[in-house]
Amino acid sequence: MSKRILVVDDEVRIREVVQYGLEKNGFLVEVAQDGRTALARLAQGGFDLVVLDVMLPDLDGYELCRRIRAEGHLPILFLSARSEEVDRIVGLELGADDYLTKPFSPRELVARVRAILRRFEAAGAKETRSRSLDHGRLHIDLERHEVRFDDQLVELTATELTVLAALVERPGIVLSRAQLVERAYDGGTHVTERTMDSHVRRIRAKFRAVGGDPIATVHGVGYKAAE
User: What integer is the mean pLDDT of 91-108?
Assistant: 86
70 by DSSP, 3-state: which?
helix
Contacts of residue 113, defined as CB under 8 A and 6 or more positions apart, other chains included, come to: 5, 22, 27, 49, 51, 77
User: What integer is the mean pLDDT of 63-85?
Assistant: 84
**Percentages helix, strand, coil for the chain, rounded to the nearest 5?**
45, 20, 35
Q: Select from 54, 163, 186 the least CA-distant residue to 111.
A: 186
148 and 166 in a single domain? The answer is yes
pLDDT, one tens digit per residue, over 128-169 is 445 788 898 999 988 778 899 998 999 888 888 889 998 998
Q: What is the CATH number of the domain that holds 72?
A: 3.40.50.2300
Maximum mean pLDDT: which of 49-63, 88-102, 131-145 = 49-63
54 and 158 in a single domain? The answer is no
Please give the tally of structural domains in the chain: 2
pLDDT value at residue 113: 93
Q: What domain range is 116 assigned to? A: 4-123
9 and 118 in a single domain? The answer is yes
Neighbours of 127 (CB within 10 A): 12
**Is the model more confident about 69 or about 86?**
69
CA distance 221 to 121: 29
Whether 122 has a pLDDT exceeding 70, the answer reads no
Q: Bridge partners of 12?
A: none
User: What integer is the mean pLDDT of 199-213?
Assistant: 92
